[in-house]
């Protein structure tokens, strides 16, 4: 395998990993607060279509990203009201949110189907992005660097700040946190809003840095992979980064298996395409097998908070 192909694989892998990493980081914070939101796919699709539409209409990808974040946050608030204020089942509501996002994106995106936009490329000088080796570090969209920065921000927030400690306390023992004066609902509302914004931005990554057009179902089920990544990483941001890049590498190998022969044909391209989803199934099986006291999952994950009980 030549150096040029290796560099191309690395660059493609990083781009493919970015939406997974952003969505999974948002869900990690949500689950750390004790809330299980299975609607990531729906929020990503909403962010993708809104981000594409705003970018197409204005020609400004920064506005598209901002709109995608607000769209994902708005949809997440539907989930928050139903589960946190009205105490509906979190699993069922999350699935309904995915169905809603899928339908909304298909309807809203009809007017934009097949229309192209320019990719949101690197902001660095051509002297850096055109260099054979330096492009490994500089030939990426700003969204890639944002995702890496957010890994550090989420880790720092959860481990080094008082607000992060409160959020983790709410996720581990909501009644204890409530008894000492913290608002469980407010903390969880904030976490769900953050998760929605991150999922919206993750969805916008698809038309802005991967496929510069809108097609129905653009995210291709990546929201479910992001959900499994959180468990795969044991709710740790550093491991989440490694897991996202591993899944991104598998997706990249699928593309090269279709386009090239030789070493890439060790496995059929169809098998490469199925590997991320097979891994997702394996992780979900691990979830059911690890529901013990030694599990690293937040103790209150998925459990409604009933202060009067």
Split at pLDDT 50, 70, 90, the class of 309 is low
Taken in order 223, 224, 226, 231, is the CA torsion positive or negative? positive
Q: Residue 138: which residues within 8 A CB-CB, separation 6 or more?
A: 122, 124, 128, 129
Range of the domain at 73: 3-121+134-289
pLDDT surpasses 50 at 293: no
* Statement: residue 261 has pLDDT above 60: no
Residue 217 domain-assigned (yes or no): yes
Residue 283 pLDDT level (bands cut at 50, 70, 90): low
For residue 294, the model assigns a pLDDT of: 46
Say what the pLDDT of residue 263 is: 52
Mean pLDDT calculated for residue range 82-97: 93
In tens, the pLDDT along 34-87 reads 999 999 999 999 999 999 999 999 999 999 999 999 999 999 999 999 999 998
Residue 127 within any structural domain of the chain: no
Quickly tell me which residue has 């590498």 as its tokens: 249
Task: Tell me the CA distances in angstroms from 232 to 4, 53, 171, 197, 281, one per residue in order.
Answer: 32, 33, 19, 22, 11
Q: Is 264 contained in some domain?
A: yes
140-173 residue pLDDT tens: 999 999 999 999 999 999 999 999 999 999 999 9
pLDDT at 265: 58
Q: Is residue 129 part of a domain?
A: no
pLDDT of residue 269: 62
Residue 89 CB neighbour total at 10 angstroms = 13
Is pLDDT of 216 > 50? yes
Number of domains in the chain: 1
Average pLDDT along the chain:
87
Neighbours of 269 (CB within 10 A): 17
Does residue 304 sit within a domain? no
For residue 241, pLDDT beyond 90:
yes
Quick check: is 178 in a domain? yes
| Domain-located, residue 234 | yes
Q: Would you say residue 209 lies in a domain?
A: yes
| pLDDT at residue number 48 | 95
CATH number at residue 279: 1.10.3470
Predicted pLDDT at 258: 62
Task: Supply the pLDDT for residue 285.
Answer: 72
12 in Cβ contact with 192 (< 8 Å): no
């Amino acid at each position: 395998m030549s150096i040029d192909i290796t560099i191309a694989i690395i660059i493609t892998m990083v781009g493919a990993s970015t939406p997974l990493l952003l969505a999974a980081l948002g869900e990690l914070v949500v689950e750390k607060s004790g809330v299980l939101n299975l609607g990531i796919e729906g929020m990503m699709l909403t962010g993708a279509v809104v981000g594409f539409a705003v970018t197409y209409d204005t020609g400004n990808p920064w506005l598209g990203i901002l709109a995608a974040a607000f769209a994902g946050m708005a949809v997440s608030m539907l989930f928050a009201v139903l589960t946190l204020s009205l105490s509906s089942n979190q699993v069922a509501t999350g699935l309904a949110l995915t169905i809603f996002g899928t339908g909304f994106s298909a309807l809203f995106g009809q007017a934009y189907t097949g229309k192209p936009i320019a990719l949101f490329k690197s902001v660095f000088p051509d002297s850096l992005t055109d260099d054979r080796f330096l492009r490994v570090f500089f030939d990426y969209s700003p969204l890639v660097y944002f995702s890496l920065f957010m890994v550090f921000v989420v880790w720092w927030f959860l481990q080094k700040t008082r607000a992060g400690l409160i959020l983790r306390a709410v996720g581990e023992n909501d009644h204890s946190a409530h008894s000492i004066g913290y608002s469980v609902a407010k903390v969880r509302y904030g976490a769900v809003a953050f998760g929605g914004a991150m999922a919206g931005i993750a969805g916008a990554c698809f038309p802005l840095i991967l496929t510069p057009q809108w097609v129905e179902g653009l995210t291709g089920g990546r929201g479910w992979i992001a959900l499994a990544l959180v468990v795969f990483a044991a709710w740790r941001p550093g491991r989440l980064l490694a897991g996202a890049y591993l899944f991104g590498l598998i997706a990249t190998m699928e593309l090269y298996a279709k386009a090239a022969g030789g070493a890439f044909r060790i496995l059929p391209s169809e098998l490469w395409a199925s590997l991320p989803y097979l891994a997702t199934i394996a992780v979900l099986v691990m979830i059911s097998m690890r529901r013990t006291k030694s599990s690293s999952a937040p103790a209150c994950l998925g459990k409604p908070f009933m202060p009067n009980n």
